[in-house]
Amino acid sequence: MLRALSADGGGSRFNPLVVVELASNTKEEAIAWLLSRIRDTQQNGGAELLVEQLGPGVDAQEKENPNMFLVGATWQRLLSGAEDVGLFREFHDGSMRGFTCANKHNFKDFKGDGDSFLSMAECQYIIKHELDTLRAKDETHVPGYNQVKLYPGKSIIRRLLSKGILIQVFPLHEKEELKRLSFSWYQKVKLSFQPLDDIRHYYGEGQALYFGFLEYFTFALVPMALIGVPYYLFDWENYDKYVIFAAFNLVWCTVILELWKRGSASLAFRWGTLSRKKAFEEPRPGFHGVLGFNPVTGREEPLYPNTKRQLRVYLVSLPFVLLCLYLSLYIMMIYFLMEGWVLSAHNAEPTFWTGILCFIPSIIYAVVIEIMNLIYRYAAEFLTEWENHRLESSYQNHLVLKVLVSLATLLITSQILNQLMEAFLPYWLQRRRNKKMIRKVQKRKTLEDKELPLADQVRLEADMSTYLGTFDDYLELFLLFGYVSLFSCVYPLAAVLVVLNNITEVYSDAFKMCRVFKRPFSDPAANIGVWQLAFEAMSVIAVVTNCSLIGMSPQVKAYFLDSDTQLILWTVAVEHGLLAFKFILTFLIPDVPKHIQINLARLEFESLEALKKKKMLEASEVSKTVQ
Amino acid sequence: MLRALSADGGGSRFNPLVVVELASNTKEEAIAWLLSRIRDTQQNGGAELLVEQLGPGVDAQEKENPNMFLVGATWQRLLSGAEDVGLFREFHDGSMRGFTCANKHNFKDFKGDGDSFLSMAECQYIIKHELDTLRAKDETHVPGYNQVKLYPGKSIIRRLLSKGILIQVFPLHEKEELKRLSFSWYQKVKLSFQPLDDIRHYYGEGQALYFGFLEYFTFALVPMALIGVPYYLFDWENYDKYVIFAAFNLVWCTVILELWKRGSASLAFRWGTLSRKKAFEEPRPGFHGVLGFNPVTGREEPLYPNTKRQLRVYLVSLPFVLLCLYLSLYIMMIYFLMEGWVLSAHNAEPTFWTGILCFIPSIIYAVVIEIMNLIYRYAAEFLTEWENHRLESSYQNHLVLKVLVSLATLLITSQILNQLMEAFLPYWLQRRRNKKMIRKVQKRKTLEDKELPLADQVRLEADMSTYLGTFDDYLELFLLFGYVSLFSCVYPLAAVLVVLNNITEVYSDAFKMCRVFKRPFSDPAANIGVWQLAFEAMSVIAVVTNCSLIGMSPQVKAYFLDSDTQLILWTVAVEHGLLAFKFILTFLIPDVPKHIQINLARLEFESLEALKKKKMLEASEVSKTVQ
């Protein structure tokens, strides 16, 4: 019944890009309404996209969901969509400009009728944007569902999603391209840089920036690793040189973070996201409030008073986080006490069993911490959801903040234990996770390698796990950075281990992106966002921990035998000096390379000049008319 | 000969706004050429302004400069100029928008033919902008001066100014308006806020922001002053309470600086400078280099390699500043030594003469410091000039940085002396300066109060001293802020003295703006620029000095009798806590008030929407044409 193709798209030309999966028990009238809204012309407030129902699979099963739809679009529609989302591409003169259909032929890669101008990831992003901005007109509710209210301007897809009628919207993989990408990315054995441009082409800028950062971070740690090895091998007990090593590390951490800002600006400039004007950000699907008029857009949408949110943040979330911090410190104290008892018991009567007993507190502590961490993570997500942030970005910021506050404590805690085992704990946990994942994939692999018909391929992908964004990936890198920077002076091998880990990390992350997860929608990011701030904050804390660790070391104390005061004053002075140096360095290194600054300035200058010229032309025309 | 009025301006309608003074020996052909270029139409690359030569004064003297010219413009020209400079004004719907002639009638204050729409300060700014952007076409040199080279695109006024042919360009005072302003500003006796909007109307945004900051700063210090007085009167020796007082001061300093950012954003928003797009910044008149093409504008102009400038900054200026710092610390040490000798001599045989001798080192030190400061200031200006910065703004930044580095040292120096006399030294110096100024004015006052004919009035103003910008005014406030914040814990009366000083400062500054100086060109500033950063840096240093002063105090030491180490560790911990709190506070308080954020977002949203709608219309027109 709904199988009919869109009026202006022949069956052979239809190129499915995005899958829309509705609940299997969705009412017919709601489906018919949704499809007609998606197909309707833009003048009528529709999305003007092509939709087709997915047929049953070859070995169709009873429980198969019939309500899966493939969405595509004509090239003209995609190009006008590219203009809507504000895509930046290289102009024929080498500068980056906002794409417009009117002068499409002046863009460098626009050839013929432009059907290879947009990457598939971009097309899918455009379709997602057009679906997201498909708004209710005068409908008061979704047909067939009186309780699912709509109001003029409400995003239809978001409402269906938040009410569970729409299960998921996801982009399709492109098997050929994926095969090529995965070959050049992780199946080739030869040592080389990652194909960042290809990754960006397939997964979008957000993903490519993550892998770019991972690669940059790995290379940036190599000098620290190289210097760390001889320290570990020869001079373990010589703290003189450790001071120099630690000072080098601190400065190096600052420099690499600053240089990454420049590197990421270069990448984002090349990919056109640096100067892209963001469209007005929509509320998150989970955001709720009383209906009112948005003061910016004038559209009717839920409003939630800022003061109420602030109260929730400062009166509930903040005390909760502080309480958890206190609790984790308290548990650490208990652990120390336990270890003290066990050790004294072992020293009093050393037997095999007391020897084993010595490990018990560490094991209990590790388990408790892992469980607490898990619980805390859920609580943090719940609280951040409850705080009811309007924007996805501010939701992410608050979540990252909460998780990091707890992790910084854990990090310091677990490093005070500073046994090799504990240092390897997260590494080992991650390995385990990877292994689990690989096993899960192996099962599916046999299925995947066969050339499946479209219907089965789509159903297979719909069944794959959803990639939940780069949060956990960045978190892992952040923890590793913490190990390297916070305790570099007592643990010179950290950088080596992290470099080794990162090399496998690239392969396992690439593997999971290509084989384990549904393809994610591309995210036109210009930088790594709140994580840059988190890494920088960590490098500030690192100055404090390193200075105090060096100050506490017996070798340094030996220099100040007669006066503890002198020692501490020197330590504090050095720390303040390093901090000041760090801030000055951050200030002195420009965030955007000079040639990109010039390029951006040129674009702005030209648009100002064009505006002036236009005005002048208008004025002279007016004067002609008057004459 | 050159007296003739511009073709389209009748003698009675000509309203002189700006004075252009050429050297008295300027060649006739150069004058004729300049005037014709200023009068020429914009289509021909001229400025399309009205120029008239100033006639001789009533009691004309021999040495009078004949080459003074009055510049004005028609209303139409001023309105189109307002569009050129990107003026923002209130729209009829209450939002701030860039002024355009096309929809001039939709602006709130535009009435009739709009001849009261622009303030005189704005008109003068527009004329200055049009004169500055008057560029050479195909002239290779200034007529009559073969050595004064020109190239296409070079600003004529800047070249004449840098070669000394053009002596000065300055805006005229408006006697009636000035009288009204000065009455409401400083002649009324009743206590009230300053008429900031009127100040902005007459002097422009940069000046108004300075006076706004001065007023805000004074009011912000009142709580500290009120708390400081009882501390001074009753509890001079009780350090317990001083710790609380100092902690309050530190947090308060952070809060007032953050709130000022919001306050200044509110003012700048109301005045339309917050969202104003800056035109491409021109090189400073003193900037020199090899001719080349600007990579941004494509115009021919001098270029100077960035690396060369960096070398000058880091290899010459930086070592010089550090050397001066070292020198000033060295002199301080000598001072301490001298005072030690004198005191021991006085204690050995106290007579009247040794009593007087005790003051000698302080006096010598104060004089030496004042002289050194003067020399350093000249050296800093010379070096910054020599560094050859392309932009006025980066010149200012480097100059402020150099002067402040020296001053911060002086401040700490002079407060370590911490005698009341020394604390009053800059205050006293400033008083002296004010008195000098008032005397200078009194002489002129008799002249001024008479109604003079235009020619004499212009010559009188041309003779007044030039106001060199807000640098020294901000510097004074910065020093006062330093006294209050750096040593608040040992000198609780500082805030009181600064509040008292500021109240007189408002009057004396207002007086000098209205009566002593030439009217300055208005400067459409959106904030107080690099000074915000300087004040914030000072408040960070204040945390360090206050914590160490409290830590060193005998009363606090008494708590930690058994262990110096404990004392220092506590002090450092408190200091780190305060610093962290400061940064978090800075981060948490948004720089721009919510309602202004919304207003700015709405403007951006509407322009994006308008763009989209325009594109859609174009597309539908194209499709109609095709059909």
The complex's ipTM works out to 0.75
Distance CA A321, CA A329 (A): 12
Tokens linked to B624: 């109609």
Strands (E) located in A6-138: 18-22, 50-53, 68-72, 88-90, 96-98
* pTM exceeds cut of 0.95: no
Tokens linked to A362: 């560490």
Chain B residues whose CB is inside 8 A of the A102 CB are: 615, 618
DSSP of A536-555: HHHHHHHHHHHHHHHHHSHH
| Chain-centroid distance, C-alpha A359 | 37
DSSP of A517-535: BPPPPP---SS-THHHHHH
Model confidence at B427: pLDDT above 60: no
Instruction: Name every residue whose Cβ is closer than 8 Å to that of residue B135 and which is 6 or more positions away in sequence.
Output: B45, B152, B153, B154, B155, B156
Distance CA A381, CA A392 (A): 13
Nearest residue of A to residue B570 by CA position?
A568
Distance from CA of A601 to the nearest CA of B (A): 6
Distance CA B480, CA A227 (A): 48
pLDDT along chain A (627 residues), means of 10: 36 76 91 93 87 77 81 90 84 80 83 80 91 86 88 84 89 88 77 84 91 92 86 66 77 90 91 76 77 80 86 91 86 82 83 80 82 87 89 84 74 51 48 61 55 78 81 84 78 81 83 84 84 89 83 76 80 89 87 85 75 61 58
Nearest residue of B to residue A548 by CA position?
B569
CB distance from A279 to chain B under 8 Å? yes
Model confidence at B94: pLDDT above 90: no
User: Residues for chain B: how many in total?
Assistant: 627
Chain A residues whose CB is inside 8 A of the B304 CB are: none
Angle between helices B420-449 and B494-511 (to 10 degrees): 20
State the DSSP H helix or E strand holding residue B50, giving kind and residue range, or none if neither.
strand B50-53
Q: Taking the CA of residue B562 as centre, how many other CA atoms within 13 Å lie in the half-sphere pointing to its CB? A: 0
φ/ψ (deg, to 5) at B375: -65, -45
Nearest residue of B to residue A544 by CA position?
B576
CB distance from B95 to chain A under 8 Å? no
* Residue whose C-alpha is closest to residue A81's, from A49, A40, A126: A126
What's residue B208's pLDDT?
Answer: 92
Q: Taking the CA of residue B32 as centre, how many other CA atoms within 13 Å lie in the half-sphere pointing to its CB? A: 6
DSSP of A394-451: HHHHHHHHHHHHHHHHHHHHHHHH--HHHHHHHHHHHHHHHHHHHHHHHHHHHHHHS-
Residue A388 backbone class (left: φ over 0; alpha: ψ -120 to 50; beta: rest):
left
CB distance from A353 to chain B under 8 Å? no
Instruction: Name every residue whose Cβ is closer than 8 Å to that of residue B167 and which is 6 or more positions away in sequence.
Output: B21, B22, B23
What's residue A372's pLDDT?
Answer: 85
Angle between helices B75-84 and A594-626 (to 10 degrees): 150
Nearest-by-Cβ selection for A602 from B296, B569, B618:
B296
* Residue whose C-alpha is closest to residue A385's, from A470, A315, A312: A312
Nearest-by-Cβ selection for A280 from B568, B605, B620:
B605
Nearest residue of A to residue B613 by CA position?
A84
Confidence of residue B597 (pLDDT cuts 50, 70, 90): confident
Q: H helices within B387-487, ranges in order?
A: 392-417, 420-449, 454-463, 471-486
Distance from CA of B306 to the nearest CA of A (A): 10
Q: For residues B231 and B166, which has the higher predicted lDDT (pLDDT)?
A: B166
Chain A residues whose CB is inside 8 A of the B616 CB are: 42
Distance CA B216, CA B210 (A): 10
Nearest residue of B to residue A617 by CA position?
B43
Specify the range with the lowest mean pLDDT, choosing from A609-623, B225-239, B329-343, B373-387. A609-623
Distance from CA of B67 to the nearest CA of A (A): 33
Distance CA A260, CA A256 (A): 6
Chain B residues whose CB is inside 8 A of the A100 CB are: 615
Specify the range with the lowest mean pLDDT, choosing from A114-123, A171-180, B473-482, B557-566. B557-566
Contact yes or no for B295 and A101 at CB 8 A = no
CB distance from B620 to chain A under 8 Å? yes
What's residue B438's pLDDT?
Answer: 61
Distance CA B376, CA B384 (A): 12
Would you tell me which residues 133-152 of chain A have a C-beta closer than 8 angstroms to some C-beta of chain B?
Answer: none
Distance from CA of B605 to the nearest CA of A (A): 7
What's residue B516's pLDDT?
Answer: 80
Would you tell me which residues 194-223 of chain A have a C-beta closer than 8 angstroms to some C-beta of chain B?
Answer: none
Contact yes or no for B544 and A569 at CB 8 A = no
* Residue whose C-alpha is closest to residue A397's, from A216, A532, A586: A532
Would you tell me which residues 554-583 of chain A have a C-beta closer than 8 angstroms to some C-beta of chain B?
Answer: 564-565, 568-569, 572, 576
φ/ψ (deg, to 5) at B71: -115, 135
Mean pLDDT, chain B, as a whole number?
A: 80
Size of interface A-B (CB pairs under 8 A): 65
Question: 3-state SS string over B33-44?
Answer: HHHHHHHCCCCC
Distance from CA of A75 to the nearest CA of B (A): 15
Nearest-by-Cβ selection for B602 from A101, A295, A569:
A295
What's residue B71's pLDDT?
Answer: 93
Optimal mutation site among B313, B405, B564, interface A, most CBs of chain A within 10 A: B564
φ/ψ (deg, to 5) at B171: -85, 155
What's the pLDDT tens digit per position in B219-257? 999 998 888 888 777 765 565 667 777 788 888 888 999
Optimal mutation site among A97, A296, A398, A569, interface B, most CBs of chain B within 10 A: A296
Chain A residues whose CB is inside 8 A of the B83 CB are: 615
What's residue B13's pLDDT?
Answer: 59
At B292 the three-state DSSP class reads strand
Distance CA A402, CA A319 (A): 11
User: Given the structure tokens 């509110």, which residue do they identify?
Assistant: B266
Distance from CA of B310 to the nearest CA of A (A): 11
Optimal mutation site among A93, A314, A564, interface B, most CBs of chain B within 10 A: A564
Distance CA A61, CA A24 (A): 14
Region B323-338 average pLDDT: 84
Chain B residues whose CB is inside 8 A of the A80 CB are: 615, 619
State the DSSP H helix or E strand holding residue A486, giving kind and residue range, or none if neither.
helix A471-486
Strands (E) located in A207-289: none
Contact yes or no for A43 and B619 at CB 8 A = no
Distance from CA of A298 to the nearest CA of B (A): 9
Contact yes or no for A101 and B619 at CB 8 A = yes
Single-letter amino acid code for the residue at A42: Q
What's residue A69's pLDDT?
Answer: 92
Contact yes or no for A615 and B42 at CB 8 A = no
Distance CA B279, CA B295 (A): 16
φ/ψ (deg, to 5) at A481: -60, -40
Model confidence at B448: pLDDT above 80: no
Dihedral sign for Cα atoms in the order A63, A64, A66, A71: positive
At B368 the three-state DSSP class reads helix
pLDDT above 70: percentage of residues in chain B: 84
CB distance from A616 to chain B under 8 Å? yes
Model confidence at B511: pLDDT above 60: yes
What's residue A49's pLDDT?
Answer: 92
